[in-house]
Structure 1
């Protein structure tokens, strides 16, 4: 190979070339954005429509169904789901992966524009948005102070939010618990009727009297004047004195029928941090922003704000995602360094040379740093997946250098000079090294090409390993022989401690190699027995232990946070919900040994339907911080499970569930999501109730909940359409009158300085909060005043809190947490139970959420594994110019499954996505042992050695590099298995499975491959005889 000769003969040029790659890599690293996980883009569009005052059934029929029908004709749609809540419709359009989401969004907007005219007149225009999974809070904080909440909110909105919004990289700052000022026109219902006025008249007069408009220009001689109508309200007295005309009667003033009150909007959210009321802020970064840099700048600005704000105003951080990200990345880097050090130790034991360790070891940082050039070019970020790819491949990166270095050293020991040995030794092993590297590349290529969410998640993992592996190959053919030619020399006997240790190890190794040669020779005589034993061990492990395997999805990292989701019975008012929350906070207060912070939000639960959090005064979420896991003796799940019984007993009427905070920053969704669909709501409720009963009686499940809740009290107003028409009215006029009186209508805005406040018109509290007064709402007709009771039937009842639909069918979703077991096993048990129910025609169930993603991901990984095996075989066949020998090599792959199953069962880990990915990786790793042996067998046979002697000599000679490379790979991954540091739970399974597979495949390959090769060559020789 000319590249080897150039590297050895022109060391300065090659050094500069390698340094250039390293320097450029360092600059590339500096420019890379940092995040916890890779960006995952789902082609999902949400359509959110506000229809104030409407119940879920009205929202479903008047809004959601019409939008579903309009968008369903768009091409490329995978499914359409909708959620109809009180006053809100959310329609979720999910496109097939690969769809241009910008085009999809425009198509949705076009369809919405076409049907806007068919939506209710008083519904707001639908809002169409692309889903951004990365729009998670970077930092959550609470603002409190020794002053009224409205003053705290004013300072928050006018000072803090404005300052944080200006930060480069901040997309938005969401405010929770706001107490906003409002001018309320509280109309007296009796006086309104006495003066023969309507709410519509009041709204129109107030809006029409608050104008500040330009009237144009007047040019007179040499001057020009602008004309402006300055009719905006200057103070509350202006509003009080607004005159309301009456037909055929003197006008009256607004104050004659209403009170004008400078007050606050109805508050339906409360925020507390550690028991102190305040205002919550969620700061969301832009999609392409560096989360660590944004978080640092936010904290810097907050420190500056503390000096500008009044002394009593406190800014307290609740969550800071950047801390976990920085710590997890730091721990990953530490694992990489520790893995490299353990690898160096192995190298020294075998090479007995510090120089040799340096030569091989320098390939690790060189390959890693140089790979950042391609990582930046590919548009990746520094995240958990890309760094884990580098950490998991620490040992892999050094294997090429080890094989080359070991062969060079062997030549030097046989009295060749270092320069010649470096060239000859590298070229002699070049095909094996090249083949081994390419097997790794072809294995990781299918990983990078996977489709679906899992493909987006692992593309950076697969390509990052590929990039680093490519540079490790280049390093092995350039840097390793170049340094070996100048640094290596024949080993001279020394009397130091390390030298004595090396000699003892070498004696031990020589005995091991001799014993191995003898063992191989014996197994070749007893091939059938040996094959039988290996086969028995394989099937015994797969069948005997495989049944104990759990099947999971993702392991949740212990970030020290969890949330408590509280749902009170439908119809519960805000005061009752808050009373329940106070009881929970008191229980949490008694666990201050662990609990650092308690952040309570009443009125909203995050992580609900895409595009719509679960909102209402009967729901709340409490986020609890129990600190770093290193500082406590209990895990997050173990801790909140210890609270479960006390909280359920404290508020027996509430539905309480727990969930850990997901790595992406939001509350993780329930692991079990069972979607039941059908057309008739009554039948759907009945069958979902039976399914819910099954789930509640399964010991593995906790926090079983249903999206169906019918107990919300409501008053139904049913119009008598014919009678309404006879009076010269319309149903929409009746509906608006009801809404204006109860919900109210924002007629216009009241400006004070640079601030604007809504002017809302509605009945007074005494009138609107009295059910009897609803029937007394009066309508002005040509026949005089007519009460609502004469135009409509008014009944009390109850209705659902939400109605969900999927692909135009109604849907009820049952959710549950998993108390014990892995999700795959739990879902199988649920399916077995559900199959025993009598399902009506047209009614079916499907698992969504984690299980749906797990099944899709398992399929994708299975395809990647199959493709990796096929590509590896094709590559080996091309390199070895043989159809049969690659089959022998590939036959060693199943031997890794023995270690995979043993490692998972012994460590009580499920076969999750990371574990399955490790299985795919093993295809490229375990075949390298067989390649090394067969490559040298070919060399020896070309030199004239007999089959048996060539095979035995190759096995004995290649035992050293095989042990060195596999031990280096295993030890390089070992720190990842220890479960130490942030995010350790996520990275451990891949390393555990990899090490287990490497150990068993290495041991069995050393005996299986010689048997297969020897048997095949004897058969071929006999056939040709």
Structure 2
């Protein structure tokens, strides 16, 4: 004992001695608490972590070109240019007749601004790759990122109770446009735009018979309209020493201005037409004489309707969506928008208009944040009660204070790191509760034990506390860094999953460092202040010691328990055989646990489904389907869905997409604008008001909705909000081949195999349905002989069929420019033969009918050509729904069927497909959830291995031995004995969060080994026999080990009910439970064997 008293204090003891009675200590604690409250106040609240994931769509028009020509002249050269960019993950291209759309997906983590600047620079500095002389317009670049996801959606419709006034899509569009301007003034808002808008146009509907009768062509009308709508500022003049500004021209400002526009000068035309009231005056032909001019709604390109259980028939609607700026608080912005809407009621929003919040991520973020902060407090309270039950109320106050101070400063550190308050960062803190409190519990328990040992002696707390802290200081420091060594490598996981889950390793590691400092600085001060006046502090220590000596602990109940338990393996005559049996039994348990996933008793999945309040139904009709038919199908689907009791409201989007979420951003749903495409946005009542989870509702909806879709030949897919980083599709097969026709044929065969597989649903391909089109072929030679230019013919055809926005009406009452659109009447446009009688003027002024120079030919529309990373590709996609509910099993089932039916086809799971020209047959690259699962578990496995190496090096540095670290790390494999059976017992899937729990367990469980081995070494250094030291280590360290284990399990219990993070909770609870109990026996025994062999060698 004298040797122990003369031993100089280490760094932990010196810190405790310096701060245990310092006036600075409480100030440090107060500053930490205040910084924590500051962090809570200023840290933005969001539902999901903010990830730097940047996409860019590049639109390049090539009017009149075929899909193959677009591919060769636009898409392929563009991909080659874009492939030179650093930091690009994937490049996709879509070549369709007349246009190429390229998508550049940057690597996760590259800042948005850097990515966009590099992209613009690359395109602008390589403009020469576009063929010269083809009149190809400048590429349009539209970057997309996480901040383009709207945090709020407001759907405007007519109030059901309003029987007198009904608002049309056009009326609602005008109201929405006025609200856009108002809401954009709210700080923090970014994009504010309207979905489902029906814009107005000044329609000039031409009568082809009257035009022909007057000898007027489209060119005449267009030139007159453009010429009449020109004006501008001229150079000023000086008059009487005054500068007089000049302005020339008069714009077309009203409908009457357009109606009264003189188009031509004609005489006797009315007689020729047999109409004496043609409105002509003095031989003048006005535009109103040959056209009907009205201010009306544009031809609808989309429809939005809203249905509720109270109004199941639906109302015309538009949806106003609001995105936020980076780094702003979603809660504040949505609250400000809601307040501002109230002030606009009866001013910009008529009383009869209903504004429905169909998305509010601010409310969900605040609800999730408040719920998790509540769990954080309850977890802290549970740990404090645990200490109260095992020691005393004074020690409980000390531990509780240490937790609050640690959490407060960790929240501040999280804000400094740039994290927001979101579900992942808060779950990281709840998960950390159990390990953050370990240091404080170990220190407090050892102070408590030393006070008991010094009972009856005149020892001062000023000397006792530093000594007690120093005794456990070295193993505590080592144990803290082993946990950090296990966690920190996870921060370097690549792909979407890495930054998504990064708050867990970074916040937890930061918290561990802070908790270590709190345990050595704040905890001794609290112990000195609270335990200095305690006379009952020994009551909680149940060792039953009478004289307070160290040796008397050999007579305690705990010591006797472990003596009886371990004697058969230490002092028994057959101890060696018994140890061998124990080791074999342990190995058998590990093998049985590992076999559970192989036998599918534990299902492997990336992440389980979350319980969200929204679902999306995607509908794809055959290409060429009219918008109204798509709307009809969506209406029938919504009629069924609105009857589900959990449904709050449904928004129908025909010819448009619903407001995108993170999943829609990655899958580029914002490009779904075709008439044959549509969505149902289903909003559910809050999960606190329903029994079924959103995934259960989705499973129940799939079959009935797909049966309805089959009646209309519609492909109906149920899309749930993914619990983590999204992928293009859960099961995705990229099909490569020798030729594009071969790829298409292979895709059809693969699609059939997909449909044969069990539990594989929502099967789809990117193949398009066959479509026919009329090709108006201009007979060039005949047109030239008749003196007609192809440009004039093309303009006339365009105006006659699609309509031609020839100019704009100048109005200060419109937010968006009001186009003046020339077009034929609907009947003439829909009857293609009517175009042939339309006339154009040749160079000599003669009128020539289009039918003389235009030939109608019916032909098939070309299929779109897809490329990925410069290789032609076709996609077959699907999802998985069934007992296993994991796309991985469906993928491997399909892969096996393909191998059986097409043994010559190559299937690649990891390697990329062959370069173009080297492929020998059809190649399939499996992507989707498999790819992100493989990358995530690969990186986590690497992180796990790096963590093991770091832990080994730390322990080697501490104990100066190569063999002792192997003993210390021996419990790591034992965690799987608890983890896998725990998942099987609860019927839970083994997910990425389960893996995070296993990695964390490596650091947590090694802490226990370090405490045991360090104590044995201390006792051996004091001359105690090896057998007694081994047993006593388990007896003395059992209490802090069990306390810290229960504390970690307690924190995990509070995240057990979360669908995503319950895998993490299960790993921690069952892993700690089993490995802690086994560690108390196996580690002392392994150390005993190691030391006994060393002693034999030394004696020899």
Partners in 2 of 1:683 and 1:732 — Cα distance? 39
Equivalent residue number for residue 280 of structure 1: 319
Per-residue CA distance 1:497-518 (angstroms, 9 max, x = gap): x999999xxx9x9645532332
Q: CA deviation at 1:14?
A: 0.8
Matched, 1:598 2:650: yes
Equivalent residue number for residue 396 of structure 1: 435
Q: How is 1:872-887 mapped onto 2 (pairs within 5 angstroms)?
A: 872-887=951-966
Q: CA deviation at 1:646?
A: 3.0
**Structure 1 unaligned spans of 5+:** none
Equivalent residue number for residue 231 of structure 1: 250
Matched, 1:4 2:16: yes
Q: CA deviation at 1:397?
A: 0.9
Partners in 2 of 1:477 and 1:495 — Cα distance? 22
Distance change (3 Å), C-alpha of 1:259 and 1:585? same
Equivalent residue number for residue 292 of structure 1: 331
Partners in 2 of 1:101 and 1:494 — Cα distance? 62
Distance change (3 Å), C-alpha of 1:103 and 1:590? closer
Q: How is 1:317-716 mapped onto 2 (pairs within 5 angstroms)?
A: 317-351=357-391, 353-414=392-453, 415=455, 416-488=459-531, 511=557, 513-524=559-570, 525=575, 526-544=578-596, 546-548=598-600, 549-591=602-644, 593-606=645-658, 607=664, 609-610=667-668, 612-651=670-709, 652-653=711-712, 654-662=714-722, 670-678=729-737, 680-716=739-775
Equivalent residue number for residue 28 of structure 2: 17
Equivalent residue number for residue 269 of structure 1: 302
State which drifts further: 182-191 or 775-784.
775-784
Distance change (3 Å), C-alpha of 1:858 and 1:107? farther
Partners in 1 of 2:792 and 2:949 — Cα distance? 70
Equivalent residue number for residue 963 of structure 1: 1042
Q: CA deviation at 1:974?
A: 0.9
Partners in 2 of 1:56 and 1:601 — Cα distance? 29
Q: CA deviation at 1:690?
A: 0.6
Partners in 2 of 1:545 and 1:129 — Cα distance? 45
Distance change (3 Å), C-alpha of 1:392 and 1:850? same
Check conservation: 2:731, 2:877, Cα contact below 8 A: yes
Question: RMSD across aligned C-alpha pairs, in angstroms?
Answer: 3.2
- Aligned pair count reads 1010
Partners in 1 of 2:990 and 2:670 — Cα distance? 33
Partners in 2 of 1:101 and 1:809 — Cα distance? 23
State which drifts further: 229-238 or 88-97.
88-97
Structure 1 counterpart of 2:823, from 762, 768, 771: 762
Check conservation: 1:659, 1:670, Cα contact below 8 A: no
Distance change (3 Å), C-alpha of 1:501 and 1:443? closer
Matched, 1:39 2:50: yes
Partners in 1 of 2:863 and 2:1043 — Cα distance? 64
TM-score (norm 2): 0.86
Equivalent residue number for residue 1015 of structure 1: 1089
Q: SS of 2:673's equivalent?
A: strand
Partners in 1 of 2:376 and 2:680 — Cα distance? 37
Structure 2 counterpart of 1:819, from 859, 881, 884: 881
Distance change (3 Å), C-alpha of 1:641 and 1:663? closer
Per-residue CA distance 1:181-207 (angstroms, 9 max, x = gap): 111122333444555554344323311
Partners in 2 of 1:568 and 1:834 — Cα distance? 28
Partners in 1 of 2:43 and 2:742 — Cα distance? 55
Check conservation: 2:775, 2:858, Cα contact below 8 A: yes
Q: How is 1:205-220 mapped onto 2 (pairs within 5 angstroms)?
A: 205-220=224-239
Matched, 1:258 2:301: no
Partners in 1 of 2:126 and 2:820 — Cα distance? 30
Q: SS of 1:34's equivalent?
A: coil
Distance change (3 Å), C-alpha of 1:294 and 1:494? closer
Matched, 1:169 2:215: no
Per-residue CA distance 1:819-872 (angstroms, 9 max, x = gap): 122122222222222333253835322233433222221221111111111111
Partners in 1 of 2:840 and 2:170 — Cα distance? 41
Q: SS of 2:46's equivalent?
A: coil
Q: CA deviation at 1:729?
A: 6.4
Per-residue CA distance 1:31-57 (angstroms, 9 max, x = gap): 111112221112533213467898866
Per-residue CA distance 1:338-358 (angstroms, 9 max, x = gap): 22222223222321x111111
Q: CA deviation at 1:370?
A: 0.9
Matched, 1:997 2:1071: yes
Q: SS of 2:148's equivalent?
A: coil
Check conservation: 1:56, 1:800, Cα contact below 8 A: yes
Per-residue CA distance 1:571-611 (angstroms, 9 max, x = gap): 222222222233223223433x3221111111123527538
**Structure 2 unaligned spans of 5+:** 1-12, 159-164, 270-282, 308-313, 546-552, 659-663, 906-918
Distance change (3 Å), C-alpha of 1:594 and 1:53? farther
Check conservation: 2:1033, 2:1084, Cα contact below 8 A: no
Check conservation: 1:399, 1:965, Cα contact below 8 A: yes
Q: CA deviation at 1:158?
A: 4.3
State which drifts further: 755-764 or 717-726.
717-726
Per-residue CA distance 1:309-354 (angstroms, 9 max, x = gap): 3221211111211222222222222222222222223222321x11
Structure 2 counterpart of 1:129, from 122, 135, 142: 142
